[in-house]
Structure 1
Amino acid sequence: MTRYSHLTPAVAQALELPKSERITFCQTDRWIGYTRATQILDQLDQLLTYPRSLRMPNLLVVGRSGNGKSSIIEHFTNRHPVLMTESGSPIAQILRIEMPETPDETELWSTLLWALAISHREKDPASIKKRQAKSVLQYANVRLLVIDEFNNLTNAGKAAGDLLAAIKGLSNELKISIVAAGTQAAINALNSDPQMKSRFEPTALDRWKLNSEYLRFLASYEQLLPLAEPSQLASRELAPKLYGMAGDTIGGTVKLLKAASAHAINTGVERITAPVLDDLGWTRLGDWDAVARVV
């Protein structure tokens, strides 16, 4: 395997797979603990071990769409799976939900109940669902409620105040911390309740730059792509091209690398090169308006 020193041992073994399976391997999500992600994970771990108190600390993770918020949240929740005590009682330290697209209080409680695998009557009033949700959250020993797509709260209109009050009440009554994740609109969603907003510590996922952190990310990601030849993604030739094509979000870069590695396998090139990237006919998110103008 020394020939494939540009790959991790497990990925080098994947070179023996058929083309179709190698492409699937390339398209599977991978975790790379870059600096900002690791810092946010540390903040989340601190919340999880915070002693129950009258005023629990909360965290707001804000970033552009496609910049890794949901990946960090998913990695964090996967590190803390549901456990069972000797008596058979569940310990689900973390519950993750998504704020409904058009939320109201009754929809929020239904979302919580479904996440807890509790069947219920959708048409029941919010008060009944709330009692059910609180009871199960206590039984499961949930310590941290993670609400992804928190920016959807801006779609709630006048109901936004009731939703924030419900979330605040849940945190107060059960003494659990809230982690909200979303785009910049998530900040606007909290503006309607200054008291609630004061309980959140905001933390941002900055836009990526063509710097040493980006180069380290490319070098790490290359080790996870089952290509027989080294691509040198962090080189002077490829790194600026990748950044220019993918834009300043981690999601854009990952999407581009998945497509490029699949093309490299299909064509037999076995590495990502400038011509391979040119062959993709790539349109990054910021260029969609230009595409719309020519059709």
Structure 2
Amino acid sequence: MTSVQDHLRPEARAALELPQPERIAFCRADRWVGYTRAEQILRQVDDLLLYPRSLRMPCLLIVGRSNNGKSSIVEQVLRRHPYIVKDDGTPGFSISWIALPATPTESNFWSEVLWSRNISHRVQERPDAKRLAAIDAMRFANTRLLIIDEMNHLANAGKEAGKLLAGIKNATSALRIPIVATGTQTAIHAMRSEPQMMTRFEPIVLDRWTLNTEYLRFLASYEQLLPLAEPSQLASRELAPLIYGMAGDVIGGTVDVLKELAVFAIESGVERIDISLLTKFKKTRLPDWEDAARRA
């Protein structure tokens, strides 16, 4: 291998010198590659953290298909704003993050909030008691933002949905903090059951990806993170349509394919992703659900 690979970022260049199992692990590790829509959302979240406390705080609902980047954006928010403790031992500010249970109730929601703050409690405790304990815990931690993942599970709450949303609204009003919720399209329909919550939330859509300039820019950026000794030119006219056709219109699918293509290139000893490798990969590595269904 040459000593300088200008097509790689420094961390990927350094990974070229690792033993093969570690290079493969590097390929499969999660990496953040900013793209226009994600950076816009991150800036909006930053604005929420600076928003002056008021009785009616603005909130965001990030909506997109499964595997289209919602969780990665939330993870990036948490990385950019880690828990801070002042010199005197008191909390600077924090972000509370929970995932809405698959069948949410007011009771198990507040349990999730308490557990997120590492607070033991009796699960059978009354919901109103847990709500007060959760509010106290978030107030003590100087919580400035509540993130609720999987808001689409609200559709499974049935008659509990109204109680749950009312409890969330009252708590955030008491704390005067904004909410960032994420979910699939189902979350939009579920939120419509509570008009007051709809007026507080601004829906932000993570659109399905198309084979456009933004997609090509993402491919070019991600290539810089794959420890392959030779450039692949993933955003080229020859490769980009093939990758898009294999990965589909969600960003998670593209990332998964790129990770495994890089691993396949390392295992094959070719040190680049080209059309020949793509053809072999498609035949040997891409999951075939139709074939699985026929054979099962």
The answer to whether TM tops 0.5 is: yes
**Counterpart of 2:202 in structure 1: which amino acid?**
E
Q: CA deviation at 1:200?
A: 0.5
User: Structure 1 length as normaliser, TM-score?
Assistant: 0.95
State the match for 1:63 in structure 2.
Answer: 64
Please give the secondary structure, in 2, of the residue aligned with 1:102: coil
State the match for 1:167 in structure 2.
Answer: 168
Give me the whole-angstrom Cα distance separating, in 1, the residues matched to 2:91 and 2:45: 21
**Counterpart of 1:21 in structure 2: which amino acid?**
E
Q: CA deviation at 1:149?
A: 0.8
The 5-angstrom pairing of residues 176-187 of structure 1 reads 176-187=177-188
Give me the whole-angstrom Cα distance separating, in 1, the residues matched to 2:190 and 2:141: 29
State the match for 1:146 in structure 2.
Answer: 147
The 5-angstrom pairing of residues 90-109 of structure 1 reads 90-109=91-110
Residue deviations 1:121-175, cap 9 Å, x none? 1121212211211111001110110001110111111111111111111111111
Residue 270 (structure 1) aligned with residue 271 (structure 2): yes
State the match for 2:25 in structure 1.
Answer: 24
Please give the secondary structure, in 2, of the residue aligned with 1:270: coil
Report how many residues are paired: 293
Give me the whole-angstrom Cα distance separating, in 1, the residues matched to 2:289 and 2:201: 35
**Counterpart of 2:112 in structure 1: which amino acid?**
T
Please give the secondary structure, in 2, of the residue aligned with 1:143: strand
The 5-angstrom pairing of residues 1-295 of structure 1 reads 3-280=4-281, 281=283, 283=286, 288=289, 291-293=292-294, 295=296
Give me the whole-angstrom Cα distance separating, in 2, the residues matched to 1:152 and 1:289: 29
**Counterpart of 1:83 in structure 2: which amino acid?**
I
Please give the secondary structure, in 2, of the residue aligned with 1:134: helix
Give me the whole-angstrom Cα distance separating, in 2, the residues matched to 1:168 and 1:11: 45
Q: CA deviation at 1:25?
A: 0.1
Q: CA deviation at 1:53?
A: 0.6
Residue deviations 1:50-84, cap 9 Å, x none? 00011110101001111001100110111111111
Please give the secondary structure, in 2, of the residue aligned with 1:278: helix
Give me the whole-angstrom Cα distance separating, in 2, the residues matched to 1:208 and 1:2: 36
Give me the whole-angstrom Cα distance separating, in 2, the residues matched to 1:10 and 1:185: 39
Gaps of 5+ in 2: none
Q: CA deviation at 1:189?
A: 1.1
Give me the whole-angstrom Cα distance separating, in 2, the residues matched to 1:290 and 1:147: 37
Give me the whole-angstrom Cα distance separating, in 2, the residues matched to 1:272 and 1:124: 56
Give me the whole-angstrom Cα distance separating, in 2, the residues matched to 1:64 and 1:92: 31
Give me the whole-angstrom Cα distance separating, in 2, the residues matched to 1:259 and 1:272: 11
Give me the whole-angstrom Cα distance separating, in 2, the residues matched to 1:32 and 1:205: 15
Residue deviations 1:234-276, cap 9 Å, x none? 0111100000000001000000001111111111111112232
**Counterpart of 2:267 in structure 1: which amino acid?**
N
**Counterpart of 1:57 in structure 2: which amino acid?**
P
**Counterpart of 1:20 in structure 2: which amino acid?**
P
Q: CA deviation at 1:291?
A: 4.9
Please give the secondary structure, in 1, of the residue aligned with 2:159: helix
Give me the whole-angstrom Cα distance separating, in 1, the residues matched to 2:292 and 2:179: 40
Give me the whole-angstrom Cα distance separating, in 2, the residues matched to 1:172 and 1:19: 53
Please give the secondary structure, in 1, of the residue aligned with 2:16: helix
Identity of matched residues, % = 58
Please give the secondary structure, in 2, of the residue aligned with 1:86: coil
What is the alpha-carbon root mean square deviation over aligned residues? 1.5
User: Structure 2 length as normaliser, TM-score?
Assistant: 0.95
Please give the secondary structure, in 2, of the residue aligned with 1:232: coil
Q: CA deviation at 1:220?
A: 0.4
Q: CA deviation at 1:293?
A: 4.7
Give me the whole-angstrom Cα distance separating, in 1, the residues matched to 2:30 and 2:271: 20
Worse-matched range after superposition: 115-124 or 269-278: 269-278
Gaps of 5+ in 1: none
Q: CA deviation at 1:283?
A: 4.5
Give me the whole-angstrom Cα distance separating, in 2, the residues matched to 1:9 and 1:82: 28
